[in-house]
Every structure is written in C-alpha cells, then in structure tokens.
Amino acid sequence: MSILTKNEILKEVRKGSIKIVPFNKSALGPGSIDLTLSNKFRVFKKLKKVMDANENLNYQDITKLVTTDSIIVKPGETILGITQEKITLASNLCGWLEGRSRFARLGLLVHISASFMQPGISNRQVLEISNMGAVSLRLHAGTKMCQFIFQKTIGKAKYSGRFVDQKEP
C-alpha cells in the first residue's frame, strides 16, 4: 500500500479512479488535497439525560442541523461539519482524513476519530470538530479545514456501510 503523491493523484483523477467535486487543482499538496468546510453543521442539543453510547444511538436524535456561513465553537464544545467536496474512490483506493496543524495549534481538533476512508466511498466527509483550546473560535464555510491522503490498496473492496452516501453532517 502506497501513499499517492500529487502527480499520482492527478493521474488517478484523469483516469476517473478518483473523483472530487468540486475539484480545485490548487488545493493539491505534495501528498494530499485540502478539503473545505461547507455551511452545514450539526450542533449538539443541551440534554440533561444520560444516553447509552451503543449501535442504536443515532447522533441525529441529539443534534440539530444548522446552515450558516460561520459558526462559533466554544472551548470544550464539539460540533459536526462536512466538507464541500464529494470524494469518490475506485475499489483499489482508500484514504485518510487528517486535520491541519494550523488549527491543531489553536486547540481545534478537526477530525476526532474515524479517519480511515474505505475503498469505493462516494460521499462528503463528516468532520467531528472539537475545540480543546482556551478561546472560542469562529469557523467559516469555505475554509480549508482538513486534508485527504490517498492510498492504494492490495486487492479491491467497496464500502457499503451506514454512511455510504452522507450528504449532511
């Protein structure tokens, strides 16, 4: 399994093995592509009850969908965002979603967990955003929030799980 460099990413885009909509060539780095924040967020409801964290808990039941061009994330708060870009991968490609150090240095975790993106995905990437810093931070739609790293797999596979076609956070 190998990480794709900029030129290899471009080759796969030309072949149609990687589709990124919208595609911005200037967002390509030496070994990844920057993805931007959309204007859709999920904010956690202020509930006073204890919820069992299991397979039956639906995050949509404890969050509300908000559409806005900017949102404030207070210290200790977690919200869900989603990328503007939809990524489609061939069955021999997978990827990793990583935050950017410019935000980590502020205490902002852009993607808490579940950074592995399965072969054959075709969706926008949900971002689990947490402010672990000391000050409130305003996030703006269109900001380069994370990077996607592409990797070749050994063999072919296709993801068909619960989040196969996510369009909202």
**DSSP per-residue letters across 111-166:** --S--EE-TT-EEEEEEEEEE-SSS-EEEETT-EEEEEEEEE-SS-----STTTT-
The two tokens of residue 87 are 């990524």
Other CB atoms within 10 Å distance of the CB of residue 69: 9
The two tokens of residue 56 are 């039956």
Q: Which of 55, 77, 128, 168 is catalytic?
A: 128
CA–CA separation, 80 and 74 (whole Å): 13
Residues whose CB is less than 8 angstroms from the CB of residue 29 and which lie 6 or more positions away in sequence, other chains included: 6, 147
User: Is 12 designated active site?
Assistant: no
User: Catalytic amino acids?
Assistant: 128
